[in-house]
């Protein structure tokens, strides 16, 4: 079936549909990971975005229930060079195409994704539309022009849980590491952590649980007073989609929690923490999305290869250096990848230490959070 992808700069690509029928709009971005398309598709942080994979062959290992990072795909659309329908993997349950059709995700193949990626790198992330029902380029571009821009959007409300719940680990997934000395067994958690769900990935919850945490997951709008009433040992601020400055209610809640409990933030949680501490965020030209981004740990001078997915960043110059210490920097463009408070038990990173997909270089951040809770609580390690 024929499909078209139209961009707000007027460029239109013609390809073939391999997902659901219909029409979808979103911000067109690219991800450089060679594998992990199912984790990418189900990552809530991609809400509102049409994801282009730069690796040319997608679908060859199918999909399975274990590699889900959310309950369902969150992308607005999917773009690949060549889709492989005949998958080969002992873990696979069905093809990527049949799963996308079942989940009502529109996807296009057969376009020049190298050209598209270079265009995004030059121009920046753009609004776009994929359609299998309307092939008139003029009307497609009119629809793109009317679609919302990512800046100013609060998309956390689209992906957060609707009420608090206790996370029950479903056991080790394919990215699970063996427990090392000092980790608690999952059936005897030592710490109670409140997880703010701005679009949390399942593997983040798995890692926290594996390190001995009992998790209460709460909606993005859950008040600071309600959180403190749960008497947690620590607070985790999750990843999520959209513009951090638009999530004003989360920023106000974080301000009230800063000097109360140890706090660890990842991705959007990192950005919200920066805003709560008086900093500013800005939109990146085309974002960081992939599984091989080099980050320097300024505390150890070591280089970590990291998994990333974000379109906004914290401006390090906007942070009060008398209170905030920069801990990580991106070696590709020098943007901020992490900081910690000099007095309060608060730290965060922009990249994903749970790395699903991706390397596990930054997994040490989870036990770092555990040590912070040990030092600031009455829990006996």
Between β-strands 23-31 and 49-53, what pairing exists: parallel, antiparallel or unpaired?
parallel
Q: Helix, strand or coil for residue 17?
A: strand
Vertex 173: Cα angle to 169 and 178 (nearest 5): 95
Q: Which of 162, 229, 233 is nearest to 197 (CA)?
A: 162
Vertex 204: Cα angle to 172 and 49 (nearest 5): 120
Q: 213 catalytic, yes or no?
A: no
Give me 119's structure tokens.
């265009």
Q: 337 catalytic, yes or no?
A: no
User: What is d(CA 374, CA 152) in angstroms, rounded to the nearest whole number?
Assistant: 38
Find the catalytic residue in 69, 267, 288, 341: 267
Beta-sheet strand order (sheet of 336-341)? 165-166, 213-219, 191-197, 234-237, 263-266, 346-349, 336-341, 324-330, 280-297, 302-315
Q: 267 catalytic, yes or no?
A: yes
HSE (side-chain half, CA atoms, 13 Å) at 205: 24
Whole-number Cα distances in Å, 245 to 148, 211, 283: 16, 31, 10
Find the catalytic residue in 8, 27, 304, 354: 354
Rg of the Cα trace of the chain?
20
Q: Helix, strand or coil for residue 140?
A: helix
Q: What b-and-e string marks burial along 305-342, b requiring 16 or more CB atoms within 10 Å of the CB?
A: bbbbbbbbbbebebbeeeebebbbbbeeeebbbbbbbe
Contact call for residues 210 and 186 (beta carbons, < 8 A): yes
Neighbours of 235 (CB within 10 A): 27
User: What is d(CA 195, CA 366) in angstroms, rounded to the nearest whole number?
Assistant: 13
Vertex 207: Cα angle to 103 and 54 (nearest 5): 50
- The burial of 151, by beta-carbon neighbours within 10 Å (0-12 exposed, 13-18 middle, 19 or more buried), is given as middle
Q: Which residues are catalytic?
A: 267, 352, 354
């Amino acid at each position: 079936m024929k499909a078209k992808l139209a961009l707000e700069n007027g460029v239109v690509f013609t390809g073939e549909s391999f997902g659901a029928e219909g029409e979808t709009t979103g911000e067109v971005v690219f991800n450089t990971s060679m594998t992990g398309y199912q984790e990418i598709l189900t990552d809530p942080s991609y809400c509102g975005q049409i994801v282009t994979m730069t690796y040319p062959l997608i679908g060859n290992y199918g999909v399975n229930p274990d590699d889900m990072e959310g309950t369902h795909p969150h992308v607005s659309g999917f773009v690949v060079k060549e889709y492989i329908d005949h998958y080969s993997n002992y873990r696979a349950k069905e093809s990527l195409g049949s799963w996308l059709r079942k989940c009502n995700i529109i996807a296009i193949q057969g376009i020049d994704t190298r050209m598209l990626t270079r265009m995004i790198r030059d121009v920046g992330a753009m609004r776009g539309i994929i359609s299998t029902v309307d092939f008139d380029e003029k009307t497609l571009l009119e629809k793109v022009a009317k679609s919302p821009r990512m800046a100013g959007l609060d998309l956390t409300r689209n992906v957060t849980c609707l009420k608090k719940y206790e996370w029950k680990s479903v056991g080790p997934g394919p990215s699970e590491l063996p427990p090392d000395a000092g980790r608690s067994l999952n059936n005897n958690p030592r710490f109670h952590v409140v997880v703010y769900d701005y679009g949390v990935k399942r593997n983040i919850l798995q890692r926290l649980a594996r390190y001995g945490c009992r998790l209460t997951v709460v909606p993005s709008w859950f008040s600071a007073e309600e959180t403190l009433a749960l008497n947690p040992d620590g607070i985790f601020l999750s990843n999520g989609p959209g513009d951090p400055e638009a999530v004003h209610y989360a920023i106000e809640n974080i301000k009230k929690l800063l000097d109360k409990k140890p706090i660890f933030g990842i991705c959007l949680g990192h950005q919200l923490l920066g805003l709560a501490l008086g900093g500013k965020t800005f939109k990146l030209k085309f974002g960081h999305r992939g599984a091989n981004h080099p980050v320097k740990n300024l505390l150890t001078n070591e280089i970590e290869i990291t998994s990333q997915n974000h379109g906004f960043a914290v401006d390090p110059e906007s942070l009060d250096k008398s209170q905030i210490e920069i801990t990580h920097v991106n070696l590709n463009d020098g943007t901020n990848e992490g900081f910690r408070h000099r007095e309060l038990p608060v730290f965060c990173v922009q990249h994903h230490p749970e790395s699903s997909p991706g390397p596990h270089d930054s997994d040490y951040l989870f036990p770092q959070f555990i040590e912070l809770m040990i030092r600031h609580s009455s829990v006996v390690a």
